[in-house]
Amino acid sequence: MRMHWLLGAIGPLALTGAAAPAALAAETYPSQAGPVSVVTIADGLEQPWGLAFLPDGRMLVTEKEGRLRIVAVDGGVSEPLGGVPEVYDGGQGGLLDVAADPDFGSNQFVYLSYSEPGEGGAGTAVARGTLSGGRLDGVQVIWRQQPKLGAGQHFGSRLVFLPDGTLIVTLGDRNTREYIADKQAQVGKLVRIDRDGSIPEDNPFAGDEVYSPDIYSLGHRNVQGATLHPTTGRLWTAEHGARGGDEINMPEPGKNYGWPVISYGREYGGGKIGEGTSKPGLEQPIYYWDPSIAPSGMAFYSGDKFPEWQGNLFVGALKSRLLTRLEVDGNRVVREERLLEDMGERIRDVRQGPDGHLYLLTDEDDGRLLRLEPAG
């Protein structure tokens, strides 16, 4: 990995004491919009999971084992930042998503989602700290999933700020169905919290003695993608199915999205899941994949580098090792194109950068931060 010491305060951080980053490598792949150049911005990252842009164009990148790094615009990679909380690095758990506060320019808050160890096993947690030089200061856990469980799967963990400034935390069923129907357990749910971890008064179950007041929606298997539509501001999510049945949803407050009562997938052993593909009172997906692609990070494209792609939804795939482009018409997905299939790497996160390019993280032991550009 290209390593540079991280110095300075909250403004742009100087990368000194080391050679400049190596020349950026590029590969070209076909698309319906013409050839696409995939540029390696940084490599040598160990299972990178989450990517967030700072206002000055620098990038925060998490590594699953528990490291948070800053990647400079030119690709220089910092030493691991201090102040990151202890994580449970096992199975699918570890240091997962990262997000900068909508008011980062004035408060320098950074949010981390991760699998937190504790009594009973581990559970998704969200911590917030202030970025100051090469560390996070004043880190506090603002939200914890309950109960903690021994399973090492399905932590969810995407972070996305809604237009009103509240924070959505996506979760999974922790590979157990025991707690999904438990109205007090944040298992198989999405939750919505304020930026300090308090509960918004307009949450669908706020003041309800039956449901945990942080719950936003229910019936989710493992949501690892979440983004906002650039025009409507609506939340869209990508969710892992079992053997097939990966879903795109538009979660609405208080609604149930069916898992494990309905699904378009099958059990890994081949048997039927629940009661079929539909049931009154349970929501249908906007789109689904069968067989599974194992969707992860996702982003709508609204930049000017690829005019043909404006309004399209991009989703990274782990199992299928590709980037899928979905053409959207209102609340419907009308066409799919599969990109970068020959690259052969698990795509964990997808983001649009402030420069109008798409950025990807590959979830590999020698993971890469990539930028998509029009070739030529």
Q: What is the DSSP string of 64-114?
A: TTTEEEEE-TT--EEPPPBTPPP---STT-SEEEEEE-TTHHHH-EEEEEE
Query: How far apart are alpha carbons 155 and 223 in whole angstroms?
Result: 8
Distance CA 71, CA 342 (A): 26
Q: In angstroms, rounded to a whole number, what is the distance separating the alpha carbons of residues 110 and 69?
A: 12
Question: Is residue 1 in some structural domain?
Answer: no
Look over the chain and give the mean of its residue pLDDT values, rounded to a whole number. 93
Over the stretch 320-352, which tens digit does the pLDDT of each residue have? 999 999 999 999 999 999 999 999 999 999 999
**Residue ranges making up the domain that contains 307:** 221-376
Burial label for 239, CB within 10 Å (0-12, 13-18, 19+), is buried
Say what the pLDDT of residue 345 is. Answer: 98
For the whole model, what pTM was predicted? 0.94
Whether pLDDT at 8 is above 50: no
Long-range contacts of 182-185 (CB under 8 A, 24+ apart): 183/210, 183/211, 183/212, 183/215, 184/146, 184/211, 184/212, 185/146, 185/147, 185/212
220 part of the active site: no
The whole-number pLDDT of residue 22 equals 55
Kindly report, residue by residue over 224-252, the tens digit of the pLDDT: 999 999 999 999 999 999 999 999 999 99
The residue assigned the tokens 């029009």 is 374
The per-residue pLDDT for range 9-45, each reduced to its tens digit, is: 334 343 322 334 555 779 999 999 999 999 999 999 9
Q: If pLDDT is split at 50, 70 and 90, which confidence band does 308 have?
A: very high
- Smallest Cα–Cα separation from 169: which of 132, 131, 151, 142? 142
Task: Say what percent of the chain tops pLDDT 70.
Answer: 94
pLDDT tens for 177-197 read: 999 999 999 999 999 999 999
Instruction: Give the C-alpha separation, 196 to 188, whole Å.
Output: 23
What pLDDT shows up at residue 21?
A: 56
Whether residue 354 has pLDDT greater than 90: yes
**pLDDT tens for residues 203-230?**
999 999 999 999 999 999 999 999 999 9
Q: Are 347 and 13 in contact (CB under 8 A)?
A: no
pLDDT of residue 140: 98
Q: According to the model, what pLDDT value does residue 24 have?
A: 74
Task: Kindly state the average pLDDT of the residues 312-317.
Answer: 98
Domain CATH code at residue 287: 2.120.10.30
pLDDT at 104 over 90: yes
> With contact defined as beta carbons under 8 Å apart, do 236 and 298 qualify?
yes
Please give the share of the chain, as a percent, with pLDDT higher than 90.
Answer: 93
Q: Which of 154, 220, 240, 357 is catalytic?
A: 154
Q: Report the pLDDT value the prediction gives residue 133, as an integer from 0 to 100.
A: 87
Rounded to an integer, the average pLDDT of 292-298 is: 98
Is the residue at 345 inside a domain?
A: yes
User: Among residues 101, 112, 91, which one has the least CA distance to residue 47?
Assistant: 91
Specify burial of residue 13 (Cβ count, 10 A radius: 0-12, 13-18, 19+).
buried
Give the tokens for residue 224: 């690892």
Task: Examine residue 103 and state whether it is found in any structural domain, yes or no.
Answer: no
pLDDT at position 17: 29
Is residue 60 domain-resident? no
Task: Tell me if 238 sits within 8 A of 224, measured CB to CB.
Answer: yes
The total of structural domains in the chain comes to 1
Q: In the prediction, which pLDDT does 376 show? A: 74
Domain contains 64: no
Instruction: Tell me the sheet residues that pair with 109.
Output: 130
Map residue 343 onto helix, strand or coil: helix
Q: 261 lies in a domain? A: yes
Token readout for 264 is: 């378009």
- Give domain status of residue 140, yes or no: no
pLDDT of residue 11: 40
- In this structure, is residue 282 part of a structural domain? yes
User: Which pLDDT does position 9 carry in this prediction?
Assistant: 33
